[in-house]
Chains A and B, each alone.
Chain A
């Protein structure tokens, strides 16, 4: 997944840095880059090894597991099934929502079982992602535009937006569960009698509202940082040329903030696709709020190997979305962060 995050730019010798002084061109130059390379590999080794142990090993292990049959009692039939190689059966079972049948072979999973929830969980995950990221982008942009203005109390607002971000998601979930309780403050304030976590759409909106509350600040801060990179002279010049507020927003703010915005949207999208804590605690996954992550967790205790197949599917979905963002929508994460270095060297 790593390599696809951005095209590897052509390597160029950095201007400034230790390279400027007293080096004859040619052999010396090559030597120094080689020695920096050795030095770099020593410095990077601990991180790479640690990540290999905690990430690469589990990925490979999950992949191997996903091609194995789960041994043990079948939860549907109650019969003992032996383990062994399964080929792509686990994947087919999830995608076609098939469960193993008593006499061998497969039948459609009975409603209510985990196997029957794959497509609804996928739909729910994407629904949450699209709705929350859209709301967070719009609200976050608006917040960032306000926070970029100069007014008394600006630092108070900038501090306040960090509060939802600092509250752990588990606490956020419990807090909103209380707010959305039947006798809770939400029903009281809006004079409604909604059983928020009791039926599909209120439950979904409860999750969405809680998520938007918690993560919009992050979005707003990323966009604000992007806005602050735009030099004020550009706006002054546009004003002198008679551009209206809307024109200035559309012709200057949007294009110039777009790289930062795309990265923020990418981060949030990937985060939303793996959403777990909030719906797990807030609704327990009831009423069609089960996301793919929740489905994996529920499956683990019913069979590792099927769970591994499902987590691999989830991983592939997230990977594909990241790929589409980077390739077709121009979210260039690596280059974005690379730009800092160039700017830092003046």
Chain B
């Protein structure tokens, strides 16, 4: 009898415990959702504002209604219009060209270094790794002065090579660094099997490792391209009207009136520059995050 009562009491107690635990869980979950919403708004609202403004009639530039109003595509025409001295279309091509060359060269050179750093045992390995890391932290302004003088002297100011070469100085370390950490996590047992089967180390690299490494190389290429695409400091000093990349074109975008900033057209240009990157980044989100945090954290 008394044992039964005790059991019932115990069960009631347990029930109550479970309920408070559940409640606490619910409150915690609710707080998580609120925080997540805050993060979403903080990250996306300014980008949303850029897109909304890009599609807003220029006469209503300062319309502050949150939802899209006075929707038009005119700003995109204005962005590509060359009558005020803007060369946005040309700049887009320049950025693609510079980015492609920088990415390609950095990958071609860097893939070998990354393989050696990830895979081989040799003296001064950490020294080399440290040198490459140090290079990626190097301030751009420390390069610009001598390059400015050098390129002026040899008549390279405003040429593509004057923009590509300094870009390699910060994209290459990034490439080597990212690929090294990717390569470290690859199934290298396969390389050994290939070697046991009679491949040389070079053959094993080409026939087994390179195909396996393709996703890592592709991700690194995206990161390299983005960092070249975003470059502004070097380009703002060494490019000419004909070779300037989009970042410089957008920064110096002129309107019909000299003292009026053509915000809607700039936001349209910004949207064009950003949307392909955002799509690329969202599609390859997992890989990109892995690449960004590679090595630095693990």
Q: Which residues of chain A have a CB within 8 Å of any CB of chain B?
A: 1-6, 8-9, 11, 13-14, 16-19, 21, 33, 36-37, 39-44, 46-48, 50-51, 53-55, 57-59, 61-62, 65, 142-143, 146-147, 149, 151, 153-171, 173-179, 181, 183-185, 188-189, 213, 217-218, 221-222, 224-226, 229, 260, 263-264, 267, 270, 273-274, 276-277, 280-281, 292-293, 296-297, 300, 304, 307-308, 311-312, 314-315, 318, 322, 333-334, 336-341, 343-344
Contacts and interface: CB of A to CB of B under 8 A. Distances in A.
A54 B165 contact: yes
B166 interface: yes
Given A18-B195, A174-B251, A176-B46, A41 B144 contact: no
A225 B139 contact: no
A307 B44 CA distance: 39
Contact of B289 (A47, A54, A157, A162): A162
A213 B125 CA distance: 37
A48 B117 CA distance: 12
B134 A151 contact: no
Given A151-B29, A161-B39, A8 B141 contact: no
A139 to B, nearest CB: 9
Contacts of A166: 226, 274, 277-278, 280-281
Nearest to A226: B297
A334 B250 contact: no
Given A151-B32, A225-B293, A37 B123 contact: yes
A174 B270 contact: yes
Contacts of A154: 36
A336 B130 contact: no
A178 B109 CA distance: 41
B97 interface: no
A336 B137 contact: no
Given A175-B49, A270-B137, A58 B146 contact: yes
- Size bin of chain B's contact surface: 35 or more
Contacts, number: 354
18 contacts: A2-B132, A2-B134, A33-B122, A37-B121, A39-B116, A48-B128, A50-B109, A58-B143, A62-B146, A153-B36, A157-B36, A175-B49, A175-B267, A225-B293, A277-B247, A311-B145, A314-B142, A334-B133
Contacts of B92: none
Nearest to A167: B274
A318 B109 CA distance: 27
B95 to A, nearest CB: 9
B292 A218 contact: yes
A175 B123 CA distance: 49
A143 B293 contact: no
Contact of B149 (A177, A188, A297, A304): A304
Interface of B: 29, 32-33, 35-36, 39-40, 42-44, 46-47, 49-50, 53, 62, 64, 109-110, 112-113, 115-123, 125-135, 137-150, 165-166, 168-169, 172-173, 176-177, 180-181, 184-185, 188, 191-192, 195-196, 201, 226, 229-230, 232-233, 236-237, 246-248, 250-251, 253, 261, 263, 266-267, 270, 273-274, 277-278, 280-282, 285, 288-289, 292-298
Contact of A229 (B53, B123, B180, B297): B297
Closest 4 CB pairs of A and B: A2-B131, A2-B134, A54-B169, A61-B146
A263 B296 contact: yes
Contacts of B62: 181, 183-184
Contacts of A147: 39
Given A170-B248, A171-B250, A179-B46, A146 B148 contact: no
A2 B127 contact: yes
Main secondary structure of the interface of A (DSSP, over half): helix
Given A58-B146, A159-B285, A337-B129, 19 more contacts: A4-B134, A44-B128, A54-B168, A166-B280, A169-B232, A170-B247, A174-B267, A175-B49, A217-B43, A222-B296, A225-B289, A229-B298, A270-B137, A277-B247, A297-B141, A297-B237, A304-B149, A308-B145, A334-B130
A327 to B, nearest CB: 13
B192 A18 contact: yes
B121 A14 contact: yes
Contacts of B42: 213
A17 B119 CA distance: 8
A20 B288 CA distance: 33
Contacts of B128: 44, 48
